[in-house]
Chain A
Amino acid sequence: MVKPEDKTVLVVDDEEDVRDYLATVLEDSGFSVVTAADGAEALERVESAIPDFISLDLVMPNRSGMKFLHDLRRKQEWRDIPVVVVTAHAHDDLGKADFVEIFSGKQLAGPSFYLEKPVNPDQYVGLICEKLGVQIEGKPDESDTGRLRSQLHDLIDQMESTQLSQLLRMLKLLG
C-alpha cells in the first residue's frame, strides 16, 4: 500500500494564505509538500526534483499557471505528472479563457480535473489520494467548523450579489 509519506506534492499559488492552507492540509494528511509562489518558481522546483503531484493556481503574476502547464507538456519526463487546477476564476473574465483551453480536451496531457476555491480540504485530499492511489488511515473531519464551513460554502454559491453586499455591510457593522 502506498503511503502519503512517499509522495511529494507541489503546491503553486501566488497567495501566501492559500499556499499555507493547502500545504498544511496536505502535511496533516502525511504528504511531503513543496511550495511555489508563481509559475517561474514552480518550474525551478520541478527542475530540481520532479514531484508526484502538482496543485496549480491558474491566475498568477510572473508566469501564469497556463504558461507553466505549457512548460510541463514540453518535457517527456514532466508530461505525466498529474495536476489539479485550483482556481477562483474558472468562470470569470480573468481565468475563463485559460480554463476553457485547458479543459477543451485538446491537450496531449495535462490536468483533467479542477477544484474551485474555496477549497474543501477533504475533497482536496481525497482527490489527490485517489489520483495517486494513496490510502489514509483515520476518518474524515466532522467537527463543528467543518459543518459551518460547508454551510457557508453552499450559501455563498447560492447567494445573489446584492444579498452578498448586504451581508458584508452587516459584517462590517458587527466588526
Chain B
Amino acid sequence: MPTAIDLPPHVRDWIGDGLFQHVPSSVIVIDRELEVVAANSEFVRVFGEATGKHCYEAYKRRDRPCEGCMAIETFEDGEVRINDTRGIDKNGQPAHYVVHIVPVHNEEGKITHVIEMSYDVTESRFLQRRYNLLFERVPCYVAVIDRDYRVVRANELVRNTFGDSAGGHCYTMLKQSNERCADCPAMKTFADGGSYTSRQLGINKQGELTAYVVSTAPLSSSGRDFEHVIEMAVDVTESEQLSERLLREAQFRRRLTESAIDALVACEASGTINIFNPAAEQLFEVDALQVTGRKQIAEFLPDEFVRTVAAGGSSLQMPEAAVVNTKGETLPVRLSGTVLKEGDHVLGAAAFLQDLREVKRLEREKLDSERLAAVGSTVAQLAHGIKNILTGLEGGMYVIRSGIKKGSAERTNKGWDMLERNVQRITVLVRGFLSFSKGHTPKAVPSDPSRIAQDVIELYRDAAREAGVELIYEAERGIAQIDVDPEDIKTCLENLVSNAIDACQASNKEDQTVTVRVRERGSTVVYEVSDNGVGMDSEIKNKVFTTFFTTKGMGGTGLGLLVTRKIVQEHGGRVEMESVPEKGSVFRIELPRQRLPAPANQKRDVGRDSAEGEHSHGQTGG
C-alpha cells in the first residue's frame, strides 16, 4: 500500500485539508497548552465550537485537565494512545467515544501538537451493555459454545446453577459427562444452521437432576459461516415436579372419592354438578355420566343446602336430612356440606351424604325389641301381682264368712269393704292391662308439646289448690311439634303430677310446690315434673318402676310410674329420676326427636279410643 508521501501533490493537499474536514470522525489539534488549535466540522457538530478552548473544556466541560491525561503523556513520550472515555456533547448529553491520540513532530523532532481523533460509541456501547445485561440476567440458561462444544460464554444463571467452568465442554458443565450427548441439538445446528429444541436432563452443581428444555441457534444472522451456537434453556424441574405431584394428588383424590362409602356430590358455583362418586350413583340410583356437567344440585340435594350455597354460607351439617332418589324414594341421610370459597367468591360446593337407611332400620329394630321387652316384662309382673289382689279377695270372703258365722255385722261389713276395694283394684288393673296389651304402638300425630303440658296443668289446678300445693308451669317458647300420642303423654304427665302432689302432701313443709317444665335440649323434648315433697330413699327409688309398688297403702295401685315408663319407652324415650329424702323429687321424660314413632295417618280404632278414655282419667300414681 502506498504511503501519503508517494501520492500526487494535489491528493496530498486534499488529505491535508479536505480529509481533515470530511473524515467521518471528530478531529482536533491541540498544542502543548492543551488548547484546541483546530477542530474539524464533525467535532463541531458533536461537541460545538472548540477552537481556542482547552480540550478538557471542549470534550467534557471541565475547567482543568483530566486526571491521567493521555495527551500530556503523548506529548512526553510520543506514543500513540487510544482512550475509551466519556464526555458531554454540545446538547449536554453524555457521549461515549474512543479517542486516538497521535503526536505531530516538527523538523527538529519535537512534539509540538497532538491530534485527537475520536468516534462516537455511545449508541453501540449502550446496546452492548443492554445485551450483556439481557444475556446475564435473563431468567433462563444462555450459553455460547464453539464447534468443539466448549463453552465460550455462559450467563449468570448457568454459572450459578451448574458452576463456572468456561472453556470446558458443554456436556461436562451441564451433565458432568465426558461424552457428547447422543441427541445434541447444537450438533444439528452446527450441521445445518437450523434451530433445534429438545428436553434434556442435566446435573446441577449440587448433584441434583435438573430438567430443562433447550433451544439452539447459530450465532450469525444468515445462518451460514458461523463458529458459535447459542443455547437457550428453560428450567422445567420445578414445574415437572409440580405437575407430577398434581397428577399424583388428583389420582389420590379420585381414588378417595371413588372408594368412599359416603356419597359425594360436588358442584360448581353455578350449581352444575361436577363430581358424583360411585356411592352417590348407588344412593340416587343413577349413572354419574347422566349427572355430571348436566344436572343441578337442586335436583339431588335438600333445599337447605342449595340455599346455603346460593347465600354464600360456609358449611352446613344436617344430622337428619332427606333426599329423593331417581325412583322417587325418600331416603334418610346425614349431610355434611362445605362451600368452597376464595375470599367472598364462591367457587363451588361439596356435600357428603351418609346413607342412614341401615342405621334407621337397626334403630327401629332396637326400638321394637325394647318395646317388646317392656311389654313382656310388664305383663309378667302384672300377672304375678294379681296374687296380691286375690289375697285381698280371699281375705274379704273369709272375713265375711267369719262375720256371718259369728253373727258380727261389723266383721261382715269389713269383709264386704275388702271385696269392693279389691274388685275396684281389678278394674284399675284391667285398664293397665289394656294399655300394656300386645301390639299397642302409640298413635303418633304432630302435637304441640306445650299444649299437652298445659292441658295437664288445667286438669290438676283445682286438685292442687285443694291440697294446698302451688302448681307452677314453665315452658320454653317455640318448641316445634313432636310426633307423639298426645293422650299417652298426657297420661304420663298426669301420673307424675299426681305423684308430685301426693309427695308434697306427705311432707309437712309450709310452701309446697310442684313445677312442670317443658323445654328442648339438642333435639330432645324434655318434660320435667319436680316437687319439694318428701323425696325418696334409695330403696324406694329402686322400686318405683316395679309393678304394684306403692307407698300410698290402698291409695295407690303401684301402676302409675310403670305405665308412664312403658308409654315413654314406646315413644323411644326414657324416664329419669332424681330424689333426695326430705328435699323432693324430679322426674324427667326425655323424648329424642329422631327416636319418636312415625306419625300414624290412619284413624284410630274404636277399641283404642275406649282404652284411652279410661286411662286418661281416674289415674292414680305409683
Whether A136 is near chain B, meaning CB under 8 Å from some CB there, is no
- Assuming the contacts A15-B388, A61-B551, A156-B390, asked whether A165 and B395 have C-beta atoms less than 8 A apart, the reply is no
Whether B69 is near chain A, meaning CB under 8 Å from some CB there, is no
How far apart sit A17 and B414, CA to CA, in the bound complex (Å)? Answer: 9
- Assuming the contacts A156-B390, A165-B379, A168-B430, asked whether A15 and B554 have C-beta atoms less than 8 A apart, the reply is yes
Whether A64 is near chain B, meaning CB under 8 Å from some CB there, is yes
**A156 CB contacts on chain B under 8 angstroms:** 386-387, 390
Chain B, 403-441, contact with A by CB distance < 8 Å: what is the 0/1 string? 000000001001000100111001101100110011000
Whether A16 is near chain B, meaning CB under 8 Å from some CB there, is yes
From A17, A25, A91, A165, contact of B437 by CB (8 A): A165
* A24:B399 contact, CB within 8 angstroms: yes
* A17:B380 contact, CB within 8 angstroms: no
How far apart sit A17 and B417, CA to CA, in the bound complex (Å)? Answer: 9
Closest to B395 in A: A21
Q: Which residues of chain A (74-111) have a CB below 8 Å from chain B? A: 88-89, 91-94
A140 to chain B, nearest CB (A): 14
How far apart sit A143 and B297, CA to CA, in the bound complex (Å)? Answer: 85
* B392:A24 contact, CB within 8 angstroms: no
Q: Is the interface of B mostly helix, strand, loop or mixed?
A: helix
Q: Which of B386, B393, B418 gathers the greatest number of chain A CB atoms within 10 Å?
A: B386
* A93:B429 contact, CB within 8 angstroms: no
A and B contact pairs by CB, cutoff 8 A, 27 listed = A14-B553, A17-B391, A20-B399, A20-B414, A21-B396, A21-B399, A24-B399, A25-B398, A28-B402, A89-B384, A92-B384, A93-B381, A94-B546, A117-B387, A117-B390, A118-B393, A143-B401, A156-B387, A159-B383, A162-B379, A164-B383, A165-B382, A168-B426, A172-B427, A172-B430, A175-B423, A175-B427
* A92:B381 contact, CB within 8 angstroms: yes
Whether A171 is near chain B, meaning CB under 8 Å from some CB there, is yes
Whether A59 is near chain B, meaning CB under 8 Å from some CB there, is yes
Q: Which residues of chain B (337-382) have a CB below 8 Å from chain A? A: 379-382
How far apart sit A64 and B539, CA to CA, in the bound complex (Å)? Answer: 9
**A171 CB contacts on chain B under 8 angstroms:** 426, 430
**B382 CB contacts on chain A under 8 angstroms:** 161, 164-165
How far apart sit A163 and B399, CA to CA, in the bound complex (Å)? Answer: 29
**B543 CB contacts on chain A under 8 angstroms:** 59, 94
- Assuming the contacts A21-B394, A161-B382, asked whether A88 and B387 have C-beta atoms less than 8 A apart, the reply is yes
Count A/B pairs, Cβ under 8 Å.
121
How far apart sit A156 and B391, CA to CA, in the bound complex (Å)? Answer: 12
How far apart sit A143 and B103, CA to CA, in the bound complex (Å)? Answer: 170
Closest to B429 in A: A168
Closest to B426 in A: A171
Q: Which residues of A contact B (CB under 8 A)?
A: 14-18, 20-22, 24-25, 28, 37, 59, 61-62, 64, 88-89, 91-94, 116-119, 121, 143, 145, 149, 152-153, 156, 159, 161-162, 164-165, 168-169, 171-172, 175
Q: Which residues of B contact A (CB under 8 A)?
A: 379-388, 390-399, 401-402, 411, 414, 418, 421-423, 426-427, 429-430, 433-434, 437-438, 539-540, 543, 546-551, 553-554
* A93:B427 contact, CB within 8 angstroms: no
**B547 CB contacts on chain A under 8 angstroms:** 92, 94
**A168 CB contacts on chain B under 8 angstroms:** 386, 426, 429-430, 433
**A159 CB contacts on chain B under 8 angstroms:** 383
**B401 CB contacts on chain A under 8 angstroms:** 143, 145
**B392 CB contacts on chain A under 8 angstroms:** 15, 17-18, 21
From B418, B548, B551, contact of A17 by CB (8 A): B418
How far apart sit A61 and B392, CA to CA, in the bound complex (Å)? Answer: 19
- Assuming the contacts A145-B397, A171-B430, A175-B427, asked whether A59 and B549 have C-beta atoms less than 8 A apart, the reply is yes
From A24, A64, A169, contact of B395 by CB (8 A): A24
* B390:A152 contact, CB within 8 angstroms: yes
* A16:B554 contact, CB within 8 angstroms: yes
**B434 CB contacts on chain A under 8 angstroms:** 169
**A119 CB contacts on chain B under 8 angstroms:** 391, 394
A170 to chain B, nearest CB (A): 10
**B418 CB contacts on chain A under 8 angstroms:** 17, 20-21
Q: What 3 A-B pairs have minimum CB-CB distances, sorted nearest first?
A: A21-B395, A17-B392, A118-B391
* B437:A117 contact, CB within 8 angstroms: no
Closest to B549 in A: A94
How far apart sit A166 and B455, CA to CA, in the bound complex (Å)? Answer: 33
**B423 CB contacts on chain A under 8 angstroms:** 175
**A17 CB contacts on chain B under 8 angstroms:** 391-392, 395-396, 418, 421-422, 554
A26 to chain B, nearest CB (A): 11
B406 to chain A, nearest CB (A): 8
**A61 CB contacts on chain B under 8 angstroms:** 540, 550-551
- Assuming the contacts A117-B391, A143-B401, asked whether A169 and B384 have C-beta atoms less than 8 A apart, the reply is no
Q: Which of B379, B383, B414, B554 gathers the greatest number of chain A CB atoms within 10 Å?
A: B383
**B394 CB contacts on chain A under 8 angstroms:** 21, 118-119, 121, 149
How far apart sit A18 and B387, CA to CA, in the bound complex (Å)? Answer: 11
**B548 CB contacts on chain A under 8 angstroms:** 88
How far apart sit A143 and B440, CA to CA, in the bound complex (Å)? Answer: 43
- Assuming the contacts A20-B418, A118-B391, asked whether A88 and B426 have C-beta atoms less than 8 A apart, the reply is no
B552 to chain A, nearest CB (A): 9
Q: Which of B394, B401, B414, B553 gathers the greatest number of chain A CB atoms within 10 Å?
A: B394
How far apart sit A62 and B551, CA to CA, in the bound complex (Å)? Answer: 8
**A18 CB contacts on chain B under 8 angstroms:** 388, 391-392, 395
From A62, A92, A153, A165, contact of B433 by CB (8 A): A165
**B386 CB contacts on chain A under 8 angstroms:** 156, 164, 168
How far apart sit A164 and B546, CA to CA, in the bound complex (Å)? Answer: 19
